[in-house]
């Protein structure tokens, strides 16, 4: 008897139908699971954003970027852990000469899932190699860039990558953040408009450093190479509260402070006067233990300044 005579085609057809139905069921289950995960991720993203502060979000060439301070806070709140840390240094050469960069890798863990993560930072990073001499912008060569700052930045970038990827905080827009209560412009800005500045320091000069230069050097020393801490300190010593008109003095609007030295130089009407007052405020805060390396301890409103140390009303920020 042949297979056809034994009813084999009917059996095979029934089996294929069963397989197809099983595949359809699995597909439907997969779609339902994907939709459930998408809804959960949306709720996680909203919850995460609401647990950040406006100053945690940096305006990076027009797009919001979560700072390392904000990422570390969310990492703790949501219980993300990172293991298997490894740091490697590499050297490369380009038209400017030899430079180097660090790569920090690790495995992030959350809710039973594991994620391979990486963070990098280079001695070509403009934040770490840029210095100002008066109004002149200088780019340090690679050998003069502090490697400890670069490796710390690479680690911070790795943590930020882990947090933003896992919690769904990548590629957000300012409009989306605004709907969740995050106001643009509170966390400073980062723009790289000019990369053609000579990469070697200018010759030594007897020119006295400006007050802005002195303030920048002191803030960077206290921040320990952490750009977020630097911005926090600078905002703290240049911010002041609003004051109503009283005792013959005009009313004064509050000011949130400058998020970067580029903003201070470009936007302040009196950068030298503001820097001189900020230097006094900063040293007073250090002496009183209200600020320490690398994180400042801020007072109400995010200002490091005391009432007596605030800029006088005639000094416009």
Q: Are residues 228 and 246 in the same domain?
A: yes
On the question of pLDDT at 306 being above 60, the answer is no
Query: What pTM was computed for the model?
Result: 0.55
Q: Are residues 55 and 199 in the same domain?
A: yes
Does 145 fall in a domain? Answer: yes
Domain boundary among 206, 222, 252: 206
Residue that is written with structure tokens 């405020």 in the block: 281
At residue 224, the pLDDT reads: 65
Q: How many domains does the chain have?
A: 2
Does 254 fall in a domain? Answer: yes
On the question of pLDDT at 118 being above 80, the answer is yes
Q: Are residues 287 and 180 in the same domain?
A: no
Q: Are residues 127 and 258 in the same domain?
A: no
Q: Are residues 263 and 133 in the same domain?
A: no
| Of 71 and 231, the one with more pLDDT | 71
Domain boundary among 206, 223, 240: 206
Does 20 fall in a domain? Answer: no
On the question of pLDDT at 106 being above 50, the answer is yes
Does 126 fall in a domain? Answer: yes
How confident is the model over 33-53, as a mean pLDDT? 86
At residue 166, the pLDDT reads: 92
Contact 104, 158 (CB under 8 A): yes
Q: Are residues 173 and 220 in the same domain?
A: no
Token readout for 273 is 């006067």
**Strand ranges inside 112-241, DSSP E:** 113-122, 130-133, 136-139, 189-190
Q: How far apart are CA 118 and CA 157, in angstroms?
A: 8
Q: Are residues 200 and 81 in the same domain?
A: yes
Token readout for 82 is 């990172």
Does 50 fall in a domain? Answer: yes
Candidate from 44-53, 101-110, 245-254 with smallest mean pLDDT: 245-254
On the question of pLDDT at 296 being above 60, the answer is no
* Residue 109 φ/ψ region, left for φ over 0, alpha for ψ in the -120 to 50 degree band, beta for the rest: beta
At residue 257, the pLDDT reads: 82
Tally Cβ neighbours within 10 Å of residue 207: 10
On the question of pLDDT at 206 being above 60, the answer is no
Q: What percent of the chain has pLDDT over 70?
A: 72
Q: Are residues 129 and 154 in the same domain?
A: yes
Reported as half-sphere exposure (CB side, CA atoms, 13 A), residue 88 has a value of: 7
At residue 230, the pLDDT reads: 78
Q: What is the CATH number of the domain that holds 60?
A: 3.30.390
| Of 303 and 191, the one with more pLDDT | 191
Q: Where is mean pLDDT largest: 8-22, 193-207, 253-267, 268-282?
A: 268-282
Say how many Å lie between the first and final Cα of the chain, rounded. 99
Q: How many residues does the chain have?
A: 317
How confident is the model over 31-58, as a mean pLDDT? 85
Q: Are residues 89 and 186 in the same domain?
A: yes
Does 49 fall in a domain? Answer: yes
Does 17 fall in a domain? Answer: no
**Strand ranges inside the chain, DSSP E:** 57-60, 63-66, 81-94, 97-110, 113-122, 130-133, 136-139, 189-190
At residue 79, the pLDDT reads: 92
Domain residues for 189? 29-206
Domain boundary among 174, 206, 238: 206
Does 15 fall in a domain? Answer: no
Indicate the SS3 state at residue 23: helix
Mean pLDDT of the chain: 76
Is the torsion defined by CA of 48, 51, 53, 56 positive or negative? negative
At residue 58, the pLDDT reads: 85
Q: Are residues 223 and 257 in the same domain?
A: yes
Q: Are residues 143 and 229 in the same domain?
A: no
Q: Are residues 119 and 201 in the same domain?
A: yes
């Amino acid at each position: 008897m042949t297979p056809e005579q034994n009813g084999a085609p009917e059996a095979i057809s029934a089996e294929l139908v069963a397989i197809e139905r099983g595949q359809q069921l699995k597909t439907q289950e997969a779609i339902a699971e994907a939709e459930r995960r998408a809804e959960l991720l949306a709720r996680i993203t909203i919850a995460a954003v609401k647990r950040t502060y406006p100053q945690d979000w940096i305006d990076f060439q027009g797009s919001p970027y979560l700072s390392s301070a904000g990422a570390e806070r969310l990492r703790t709140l949501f219980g993300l852990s990172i293991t298997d840390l490894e740091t490697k240094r590499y050297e490369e050469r380009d038209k400017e000469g030899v430079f180097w960069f660090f790569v920090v890798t690790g495995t992030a863990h959350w809710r039973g899932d594991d994620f391979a993560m990486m963070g990098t930072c280079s001695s070509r990073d403009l934040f770490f190699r840029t210095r100002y001499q008066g109004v002149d912008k200088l780019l340090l060569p690679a050998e003069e860039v502090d490697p400890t700052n670069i490796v710390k930045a690479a680690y911070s970038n790795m943590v930020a990558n882990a947090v933003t990827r896992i919690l769904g905080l990548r590629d957000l827009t300012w409009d989306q953040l605004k709907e969740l209560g995050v106001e643009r412009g509170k966390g400073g800005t980062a723009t790289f408009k000019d990369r053609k500045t000579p990469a070697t320091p200018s010759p030594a000069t007897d020119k006295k450093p400006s007050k802005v230069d002195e303030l920048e050097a002191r803030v960077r020393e206290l921040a320990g190479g952490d750009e977020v801490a630097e911005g926090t300190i600078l905002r703290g010593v240049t911010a002041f509260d609003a004051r109503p008109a009283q005792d013959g003095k005009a009313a004064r609007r509050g000011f949130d402070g400058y998020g970067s030295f580029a903003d201070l130089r470009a936007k302040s009407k009196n950068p030298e006067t503001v820097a001189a007052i900020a230097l006094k405020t900063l040293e007073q805060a250090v002496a009183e233990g209200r600020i320490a390396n690398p994180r400042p301890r801020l007072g109400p409103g995010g200002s490091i300044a005391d009432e007596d140390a605030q800029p006088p009303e005639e000094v416009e920020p």
